[in-house]
Each structure stands twice: as structure tokens, then as C-alpha cells.
Structure 1
Amino acid sequence: MSVMWKRFYPALRIKYLTDLKPDDFHARGVKGVLLDLDNTLVEWGQVEVSPKTLAWVEEMKKSGLKMCIVSNALEERVKVVGKKLGIPWVSQGIKPRKTPYRKALALLETTPGETATVGDQLFTDVWGGNRMALFTVWMTPLSTKELFFTRIARRLERFVAKQLRKKGIISE
């Protein structure tokens, strides 16, 4: 596989956000975790946070991890979820650009080497995190409901995932 594909390699692949435990981060020296909003923390277009996700965020915070939402979504919805979770946020991020990640790192006062990012999309979350040399975690989307353009990107994402599986980079 060419070097071009490496930008899409997640450091870790998970099914559910709640599969991650504080030790998964602490063992890697991670002090801050950046979280995507849509289909990672909440279903696409929603603001309701599940009790499991609320409990997970609290567990992470109690373990000493700093957390921040980094989303391409509009400010108002990101703000609502951020306030519910008691964590800062960066909205309208235009991921995979570096700017939203830099803003989040400044909010958390962490360096790229001590920060992870978790999201459901290879072409925004994983690629953006890899551009910043973050520990990248790619998860299965919470829902199949999403923007039209995201549905198109998912087709290409499936192709890339197939290539990553062939190379043994991811297992599922």
C-alpha cells in the first residue's frame, strides 16, 4: 500500500465509544481526548446524549483526561452538547484542516503527542488527527443517518477500509 494511504491509518479501531477505557489513553501518555460530535457522541443532527455516553465522559474526566468536542457542525448544536457534557468545544471546524485541532489543543493545553482524537469518519476525523500526529481512534458510526455528502464519502471510506484490512492495519 502506498504512503498515500497511511494518512488514513487509525491507531485504533473500535465499535463503540464506550469500548474505550481510561487506561487505553493513560497507557499511551494521552492527557487529552478530542471527540467528534455527529455519529460519535450523538446520532447525526441530534443533541440528546445517551446515558451510556454521559457516564463514559464522566468516567474519562474523573480519570484525569481532558476532553473537547471538535466538530464540523454549526456552533449552536455543538454548544448544547458541550454544555451537557461539561466540556469545551470547537465548532465549524472544517476537518481535516489543522485549525480546529490546534484550537482544541490550545483549549486543553495539551500537545499533539499527548492527545487522542475519536471519530467515525476516515476522511475527516482520522485524516485530520493524523495530520496533527494525534493518536487516532476510528469508531463505527452510531447511526446510518447522515448528510448526503457523508453518504457519498462512506462509499470511498469502505474501499479504503478494505485496503486497510488487506494490509492487516484494521481487523474489521
Structure 2
Amino acid sequence: MIRLLQPDLYVRSLCDIPLALLKARGIRGLIIDLDNTVTAWGRATLDRGVRHWFADLKEQGLRACLVSNNRSGRVKKVADALGIPGISRAGKPRRRAFRQAMAVMETEAGSTAVIGDQVFTDILGGNRLGLYTVLVMPINSREFIGTRMMRHVERLFTRHLPVADLSGYDKRPLA
């Protein structure tokens, strides 16, 4: 059970993930959480770094799908702004939404990664299907009260995880 809660990679933020690293692992599709991964909780505005990262993702031929337990209006607004599909009210960590996202992206488990800020939704859900999982630190501490309570339990698993130092990694796209 503990293995299901451990990410394959732990980084500070979405923008710190080199797309070349994912492509080198055979990843073709990314299931990406919304709140505190792409945007601050409850917000629909995207910062420039996130927009640039998603533009690079598309240039590299990678596919992405937002998957969120949040309501549909906000998920659609952000997904449309990024030009990618979005799945709302996902019920993570249940497998259904992850499978739905892979179907939309036309990827299989071995070529799909999950990126998110929560161990008990994003990482657990991805690991249950054998996906490559990437845990990011939350954008900020403002979040849903239920999530805040779960963070205390999550810290039991994340406090000893090494944050990947990708500073020396060439973040330029693969040719």
C-alpha cells in the first residue's frame, strides 16, 4: 500500500518538469491536476510560466488533459485557455477519470504520466493504474478545507521524499 502513495518524481512545480525527461521515458500524454498544480486553488488565471510550459508541451507533440475533482465551469475555462481537454468532477483517486483521460489522449498506461500536488488523489490514482507519477509542491497553502486536513497525513509520506534537483537537466526540448 505504501508504494501506491510514492511518486516516481517529486519536484517543486509544474514548470520545473523538463519535457525532454518525460519524452525520454516514453511519455506521450500527461494527466494534469488543476488546483495548486496548474493554478492556485479557486483561480482560473494562468501565469506566464505555465502558459509557456504548455506551449512547449504542444510543440513537442505531447498530449495533455486536465483532470480535476472540481466543478465543470472552472475546469472548462482553464482547459479552453490552454487548448486541451478537461475532465471535471473526476472522483480521483478512482480509476475512471484516469482511463477516460487516456482514451481522450489516445495513450496507454506505459506512455502516460500523472502530475499533481496531492498524494491521496493524483499519485494514488496514477499508481493504481501503473502510470508514471509526478508530485509537485502546492502552488500555495490556500485550499479546500478537506484538502488542508489531508495535508497533515500526506506530510508523513512527503517529508522524507527528496525533491528532484533538475537544475542541471537540459530543459530544452528533444530534437
Verify same fold: TM over 0.5. yes
Q: Which deviations, in whole Å up to 9, do the C-alpha atoms of 1:113-157 show, x marking residues without a partner?
A: 100010000000000000111100000000100011100000000
1:52 equivalent to 2:72? Answer: no
AA aligned opposite 1:110: T
User: What residue number does 1:171 align with?
Assistant: 162
Q: What's the Cα RMSD here?
A: 0.8
Any idea what SS the aligned residue of 1:110 has?
coil
Farther off after superposition, 108-117 or 17-26: 17-26
Any idea what SS the aligned residue of 1:67 has?
strand
1:142 equivalent to 2:174? Answer: no
Any idea what SS the aligned residue of 1:136 has?
strand
User: What residue number does 2:171 align with?
Assistant: none
AA aligned opposite 1:49: L
User: What residue number does 2:13 align with?
Assistant: 16
Any idea what SS the aligned residue of 1:153 has?
helix
Does the Cα contact within 8 Å between 1:34 and 1:70 map onto a contact in 2? yes
Looking at structure 1, the residues matched to 56 and 18 of structure 2 have their Cα atoms a distance apart, in angstroms, of 8
Q: For structure 2, which runs of at least 5 residues remain unmatched after alignment?
A: 164-175
- 1:87 shift after superposition: 0.3
1:76 equivalent to 2:73? Answer: yes
Q: Which deviations, in whole Å up to 9, do the C-alpha atoms of 1:147-170 show, x marking residues without a partner?
A: 1110000000001224xx2xxxx2
1:158 equivalent to 2:155? Answer: yes
Looking at structure 1, the residues matched to 158 and 139 of structure 2 have their Cα atoms a distance apart, in angstroms, of 18
Identity %: 39
Looking at structure 1, the residues matched to 94 and 115 of structure 2 have their Cα atoms a distance apart, in angstroms, of 16
- 1:85 shift after superposition: 0.2
TM-score w.r.t. length of structure 1 = 0.93
Does the Cα contact within 8 Å between 2:71 and 2:89 map onto a contact in 1? yes
Q: For structure 1, which runs of at least 5 residues remain unmatched after alignment?
A: none
User: What residue number does 1:31 align with?
Assistant: 28
User: What residue number does 1:110 align with?
Assistant: 107
Looking at structure 2, the residues matched to 52 and 161 of structure 1 have their Cα atoms a distance apart, in angstroms, of 25
1:101 equivalent to 2:92? Answer: no
Q: Which deviations, in whole Å up to 9, do the C-alpha atoms of 1:73-97 show, x marking residues without a partner?
A: 0100000000000000111001000
Larger RCO: 1 or 2 (CA < 8 Å, sep 6+): 2
Looking at structure 2, the residues matched to 64 and 22 of structure 1 have their Cα atoms a distance apart, in angstroms, of 10
